[in-house]
């Protein structure tokens, strides 16, 4: 199935993903060049910068540390702006205690069971950082690296090119992986992410973004009244370590059925074994569309109170919906409010968790001479 992975998205970035196709907002203004300011310094003195972008009614702030979305502001139905992404107002908290707030995730988004996989007959032991599992690339994944950032203005679009080279053996992964991720704000206010990577040895790759969304505004309270729709008839149940069992289970008749929009809180406390294990939703949905050549609409999130909506399009085959189960009130956002369980959620476009150990799952293998490409588009409305 490696061929699917390689041919998926060859034309996605070039296609431009027209906002009209994805339901863009009414805003249509050209943006100005992103602005760079100093956000802080790491313990070794490395500077971390904050890049501020605005276009089409969307305001985005990104850190060079971890490619982190530090803030994303959009208007509500009355034109009032709010930051809808959870995070911190200082570098120290991102370094010391962030649960991947807003981060760019790699080399492998989600979990790999026991941090082990075999590729071409050779076994690889990865960094283990989530019980017995390797989570989001290990203890020092892409979320904890300082990326090279190059701003751009192209026609009516503005954005950032983020680059990072992961050396052979980093966190246990084979091959030197050269990664380029492009964040673009379009004239219609869409936020597009284009991922690209090459390797000099066979390896596995699964890049994603880990924004914690609350469309009512970060720190405003629960997301259980948000209405969510996911175009998926199946999901991947997990074991006690949140590793997929390999089953592709039907969502019909279960709390995992989001084929029609419903409030997240409607079924979250149903006594279903999978919800008990994960303390809520923390699962991969198997998107009905499968792997596609262009990003297709797969999920819609709506906050009835503000009218804000988020539509997600991707060419990936999976979507991880995480309902903020492990937020416990110990973290404080930029508005001085604490984040408690269910105060934000993640919608991570991806290949499936533990795919390197599940031959029946779509392959995440990347080989020399191939180019990993994938695109996700976030469209905002009100």
Neighbours of 359 (CB within 10 A): 9
Q: Cis omega (within 30 of 0) on the bond before 96?
A: no
- Rounded Cα–Cα distance for residues 231 and 216 (Å): 23
Instruction: Determine contact, residues 203/179, Cβ cutoff 8 Å.
Output: no
Q: Is 73 a catalytic residue?
A: no
DSSP class per residue in 185-252: E-TT--EEEEEEEEESS-EE-B-EEE--B-TT-TTS---TTSEEEE-EEEEE-B-TTS-B-S--EE-T
In order of 211, 288, 299, 302, 356, the CA distances from 284 in angstroms are 16, 12, 13, 20, 15
Query: How many separate helices (H) and strands (E) can be counted in the chain?
Result: 5, 29
Q: Is 136 a catalytic residue?
A: no
Q: CA torsion 295→299→304→307, rounded to 10°? A: 0
Instruction: Determine contact, residues 338/329, Cβ cutoff 8 Å.
Output: yes
- Rounded Cα–Cα distance for residues 127 and 114 (Å): 9
Q: What are the φ and ψ backbone dihedral angles of 30, each rounded to 5 degrees?
A: -70, 140
Q: Residue 352: CB partners within 8 Å, gap ≥ 6?
A: 110, 236, 244, 284, 286, 317, 318, 358, 361, 362
Task: Write out the H or E segment, with its range, that includes residue 36.
Answer: strand 35-41
- Rounded Cα–Cα distance for residues 185 and 34 (Å): 10
In order of 70, 71, 90, 98, 121, the CA distances from 94 in angstroms are 10, 13, 7, 5, 38
Catalytic residue (one of 218, 227, 316, 348): 348
Catalytic residue (one of 136, 188, 210, 378): 210
Q: CA torsion 231→136→280→299, rounded to 10°? A: -20
Positions marked active-site: 210, 348
């Amino acid at each position: 199935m490696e061929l699917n992975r390689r041919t998926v998205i060859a034309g996605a970035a070039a296609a431009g993903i027209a906002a009209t196709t994805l339901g863009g907002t009414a805003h249509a203004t050209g943006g100005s060049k992103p602005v760079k300011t100093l956000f802080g310094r790491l313990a070794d003195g490395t500077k971390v910068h904050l890049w501020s972008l605005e276009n089409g009614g969307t305001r985005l702030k990104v850190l060079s540390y971890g490619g982190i979305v530090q803030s994303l502001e959009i208007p509500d139905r009355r034109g009032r702006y709010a930051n809808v992404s959870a995070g911190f107002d200082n570098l120290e908290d991102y370094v010391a205690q962030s649960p991947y707030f807003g981060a760019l995730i790699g080399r492998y988004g989600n979990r790999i069971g026991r941090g082990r996989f075999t590729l071409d007959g050779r076994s690889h032991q990865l960094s283990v950082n989530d019980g017995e599992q390797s989570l989001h690339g290990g203890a020092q994944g892409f979320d904890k690296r300082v990326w090279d950032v190059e701003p751009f203005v192209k026609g009516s679009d503005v954005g950032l090119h983020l680059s990072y080279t992961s050396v052979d053996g980093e966190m246990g992964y084979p091959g030197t992986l050269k990664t380029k991720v492009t964040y673009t704000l379009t004239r219609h206010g869409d936020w597009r992410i284009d991922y690209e990577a090459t390797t000099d040895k066979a390896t596995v790759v699964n890049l994603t973004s880990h924004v914690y969304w609350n469309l009512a505004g970060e720190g405003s309270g629960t997301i259980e009244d948000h209405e969510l729709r996911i175009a998926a008839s199946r999901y991947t149940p997990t074991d006690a370590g949140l590793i997929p069992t390999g089953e592709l289970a039907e969502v019909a008749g279960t709390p995992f059925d989001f084929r029609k929009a419903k409030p997240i809180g409607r079924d979250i406390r149903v006594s279903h074994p999978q919800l008990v294990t994960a303390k809520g939703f923390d699962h991969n949905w198997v998107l009905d569309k499968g792997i596609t050549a262009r990003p297709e609409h797969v999920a819609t999130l709506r906050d009835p109170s503000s009218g804000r909506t988020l539509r997600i399009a991707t060419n990936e085959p999976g979507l991880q919906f995480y309902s903020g189960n492990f937020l416990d009130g110990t973290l404080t956002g930029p508005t001085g409010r604490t984040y408690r369980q269910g105060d934000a959620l993640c919608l991570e476009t991806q290949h499936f968790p533990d795919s390197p150990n599940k031959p029946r799952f779509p392959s995440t293998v990347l080989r020399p001479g191939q180019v990993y490409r994938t695109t996700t588009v976030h469209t905002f409305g009100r």
